[in-house]
Amino acid sequence: MKAIDRHLYNRNQHLYYRVTLPRNLHAVLGMKEIRISLGTQDTTLARLYVAKLDVEMEGVLNKLYSSLRSSLDVQDIDRLRQMIVKGLGDMKNMVGIHQRQSLNFDHLISRGTGGKEKLFSYISEEYLKDCVTNSSKTIAHKRQTYHIFQSICGDISFDDVSKVNARLFKSMMLKCPPNLTKLQGVSSYLDVDWDNLPDKAPQSLVTVNSRLVAMTSLFVWAERNDLFDGKNPFFGLMIKKADTKPNKRLPFSADQLVTLFSNPIYNECKDHKYWIPLIGLYTGMRLNEICQLLTDDIQYIDGVWVIDIDEGEYKKLKTISSRRRVPIHDFLIKQGLLGYIQEQGSGRVFKTLPRDGNGSYSYKFSKEFAVILKALNLKQSGICFHSFRHTFIDGLRNAGIEKSIAMKLVGHHSTNDIHSGYGYGHSLTVLQEQINRLSFPI
């Protein structure tokens, strides 16, 4: 974490309240510091929260000190831990901070009693609750990784995880084929028979490394939260020669765009199969950002039709910077997009796309689009729906559109650009003028 001000810290563009507890309380409470996500990127508002939290924290600590006696039994210690947990909850409510799921201190209440809170399954779930990410796929990937570890090594005490366990996990990952659960006909990696792996090609080294990164991150978090005292058993196990970009996404060529958008397989349908690729090409939106759209997300603001890309109920974003408004290209309006949106009434735009177990709406169309690409002989390494986003960005470059506008349109953020934190950015009128400079051969 990077300190911004007293008790105010920044971690991956998330602002936190962080205060170190007095040393004489560490052993009693089983914790060294308090961290609270402030739920805002506004530094001014965050400083206000910190000021209020400091006042409330002083009150909590005063209550704790008044309760301390020369000798404490187990009931006294549990009562003190309950007191600070309740105090934290009251603090967050008082200052009006959004209650995040990650603000879970239950593992601090009973820590050290030797119960389920020390098992690998418990600690890994606590980590997932505290994970700072907007990607349900990332959470699902990590949870799957931890299930794999449990399946191989058992749900052992977290403190007992050793380098031997880590090396065993790595060796099994090097043998493990993709889609192992389907190959063995089981629903979870917890049910996999590791002694009878199918005779199939193993998963890529990139995937193996991603599993090792997930395990390493878990133990780093556990150590920082005083839940693990040993040396991280997964340090140094990464495969250095693994290709970090095995299937780099490529933009569509002009000929490929012509083949796709002029073929009856695509052009005869006027449902989601017609509109989603066009929206992807002329907005650069990610597939799930399009699939989860609500009709209310199409708005007329300051004389400009825009797509408002934001989080909401059953809607999610990949990163914080993904929140943006993208003007609708004149080509989409001429093709009848606004009329199509109006025909859908209220609710979701693409109602036939189901929500999957990860909370995404893109799974079904991703498979449908792969079938279309294959039917048109366009399926090749690096070509997929995300290629529209690359094509859009290339189009912005070729049209001479400045980088800051391009990053704004696609929801990228530069931590190295000092100017990006000043002002309100480009107006919607300017963004509309720039996006309409795009032209594709369709």
DSSP 377: T
Give the domain CATH number at 206: 1.10.150
CA end-to-end distance (rounded Å), the chain: 48
Tell me the pLDDT tens digit for each residue of 185-199.
Answer: 888 888 888 888 888
Is 291 strand, coil or helix?
Answer: helix
| Total domain count, the chain | 3
* Over residues 371-382, mean pLDDT: 90
Q: Contact, 428 vs 301, CB < 8 A?
A: yes
* Over residues 391-413, mean pLDDT: 89
* Over residues 417-439, mean pLDDT: 76
Residue 103 has pLDDT above 50, yes or no: no
Is 336 a domain residue? yes
* Over residues 240-251, mean pLDDT: 68
* 355 and 407 inside one domain: yes
Range of the domain at 24: 1-100
d(CA 71, CA 436): 74
* 297 and 354 inside one domain: yes
pLDDT of residue 88: 57
Where is the domain boundary, 75, 100, 125?
100
Tell me the pLDDT tens digit for each residue of 309-336.
Answer: 988 878 888 777 788 999 999 999 999 9
* 87 and 220 inside one domain: no
Residue 345 has pLDDT above 80, yes or no: yes
Q: When comparing pLDDT for 119 and 270, which is higher?
A: 119
* 300 and 154 inside one domain: no
The proportion of the chain whose per-residue pLDDT surpasses 90, expressed as a percent, equals 40
Q: How many Å separate Cα 36 from the centre of its chain? A: 19
Mean pLDDT of the chain: 81
Record the pTM.
0.56
Is 92 strand, coil or helix?
Answer: helix
Taking the CA atoms of 264, 267, 268 and 272 in sequence, report the sign of the dihedral they define.
positive
Residue 408 has pLDDT above 50, yes or no: yes
What count of residues does the chain have?
Answer: 442
* Over residues 155-174, mean pLDDT: 91
* 411 and 281 inside one domain: yes
The pair of structure tokens assigned to 394 is: 């290339």
Is 268 a domain residue? yes
Query: How does strand 33-37 pair with strand 14-20?
Result: antiparallel
* 373 and 307 inside one domain: yes
Give the domain CATH number at 323: 1.10.443.10
* 266 and 397 inside one domain: yes
* 79 and 34 inside one domain: yes
Is 375 a domain residue? yes
* 242 and 274 inside one domain: no
The confidence band for 384, taking pLDDT boundaries of 50, 70 and 90, is: very high
